Amino acid sequence: MAQVAVGHVVPSAFLVFSLLFSSCFLASGVGADEVHEVFGRTLDPKLMGLKKEKLSHFRFYWHDIVSGKNPSSIEVIHSPIVNSSLLLGFGLVHMFDNRLTISGDINSKLVGRAQGFYAQADLDELALLMTQNFVFLEGKYNGSTITVLGRNSILNTVRELPIVGGSGAFRFARGYVQARTYNFDLNTLDATVEYNVYVLHYE
């Protein structure tokens, strides 16, 4: 009988000890690396360096180069719909890695790149579905990204697209961008667009 009792006591003491031990880890906020068995928990934003959300404004120029020997924007899906009254057929998709420069001149200072795709997503007018990551190359923002996803009705003077997130200095980013056509060459179809970015972020 004594042997059976001991056999029960030892494992349950061990269990209680482990439970206590793991809740100590939780209470002291030990990093996720040490607490492999915890799936989700609440964190204090301040412990992650997230003190005050701030609003930043960036302005740069986006160059969609479709012509010449080195285009930065290429058609990857051709539209099966021919409609001469629309410049881009429904379903057309362009993949791009466009230069972002400080002024409207493509040879001015490079501040980042815009990588993504746009697709003609409106049957009746020119309106693109755009998905793009702005990859910044300047100073403290070097390597950080902002992700923009939205509708771009390119014939309107000002188009607004939402910022859906970011990385690096733009973790937890939210906000919007305003796009204005700066130059559109009807012969080459190359376009330069001014972007004003209004973004809430922490760094």
Of 70, 85, 107, 187, the residue at the interface with ligand NAG (CB under 6 A) is 85
Query: Could you tell me the smallest distance in angstroms from the CB atom of residue 80 to ligand NAG?
Result: 11
Number of residues located near ligand NAG, criterion CB under 6 A: 9
Q: Does residue 188 belong to the site contacting ligand NAG (CB under 6 A)?
A: no
- List all residues 6 or more positions away from 128 whose beta carbon is below 8 Å from its beta carbon: 88, 118, 119, 120, 121, 151, 152, 153, 154
Query: Could you tell me the smallest distance in angstroms from the CB atom of residue 166 to ligand NAG?
Result: 17
- List all residues 6 or more positions away from 51 whose beta carbon is below 8 Å from its beta carbon: 45, 202
Euclidean distance between CA atoms 169 and 141, whole angstroms? 6
Query: Could you tell me the smallest distance in angstroms from the CB atom of residue 36 to ligand NAG?
Result: 32
CA atoms 112, 152, 55, 172: torsion sign:
negative
**Distance set, CA 185 to CA 8, 93, 124, 156 (Å):** 83, 20, 23, 16
Closer residue to ligand NAG, CB minimum distance, 85 or 157:
85
Q: Does residue 124 belong to the site contacting ligand NAG (CB under 6 A)?
A: yes
- Helices and strands: H and E segment counts in the chain: 1, 9
Of 137, 149, 164, 200, the residue at the interface with ligand NAG (CB under 6 A) is 137
Q: Does residue 83 belong to the site contacting ligand NAG (CB under 6 A)?
A: yes
Binders in 140-159 for ligand NAG, by CB under 6 A:
142-143
Query: Could you tell me the smallest distance in angstroms from the CB atom of residue 127 to ligand NAG?
Result: 11
Closer residue to ligand NAG, CB minimum distance, 29 or 143:
143
Euclidean distance between CA atoms 176 and 65, whole angstroms? 24
**What token pair was written down for 14?**
């061990």
Footprint of ligand NAG (CB under 6 A): 83, 85-86, 124-125, 137-138, 142-143
